[in-house]
Amino acid sequence: MIEDFPFLRPEHQFRVAMCVEYRGSGYYGWQIQKTGVKTVQAELTEAISRVANEPVDLIVAGRTDAGVHASNQILHFDTSSYRKEYGWTSGVNTLLPNDISVQWTHPVDTGFHARFSARERAYRYIVYNAPMPSGILRDGLTWERRDLNLERMQAAAERLLGEHDFSAFRASNCQAHSPVKDVRELRLVRQGRLIVLQARANGFLYHMVRNIMGVLLAIGRGDKPVEWAREVLEGRDRNLGGITAPAAGLYFVRARYDRKDLPEREAGPAILDGFSGLGEV
């Protein structure tokens, strides 16, 4: 009942959390740009503001860059407009392009912050390892024609686990205050023609997952030895690393919070439903 939550009453400013899914192929990343290019944040801000009948500012758990997708992106906004959860979700979805979709909406107290309350974030990177590229899922996968050695890639990934200075895996224009991150999982699983990297950490630097995958792909092809991953890490120099893996295979799949009231969904993306070996995210 609304009477049980004073911050939900129409006469008060209150906070709303949302989970959104989007295909990033047609967008210049999450964040609104001064140049006016198409971004996910711009589309959502316009749609939510229309449903709220007032301007809103969106705060997001993880700002994805150009071409990167999300299956469980979390955001929040403050508004003085009261809408039921279904009203927010369905109303906003009717105003969005078909490559962005709100999955759920939930009222939260003002102590919740989509970015700063997140204690962990997770990404999945999908590689299509086959002689020829996929004609159907090309925008959602990264194609690698050469056969990849999963055991070598996993051994290299384990050299990167733990809390380290990841300067060698951050883009030159990364704006993070510190390059030190705690990487808690780098798990690689193969099923059929798909190889998936599942990455969990307390936070990620700009291009960090794509740069890690670039190193792992070089090792999986046999171009570099397994120990090269650790050498790149300890060198703390981006120039020592490999190429940045393409954006098409990367998905933001989870932000974890110390609260039990937020709805849960499968990590996704949906093409991985039933994919064995990844475990919980």
Which residues form the catalytic set? 65
Burial per residue of 84-122, b for 16 or more beta-carbon CB atoms within 10 angstroms, e otherwise: eeeebbebbbeebeebbebbbbbbbeeebebbebbebbb
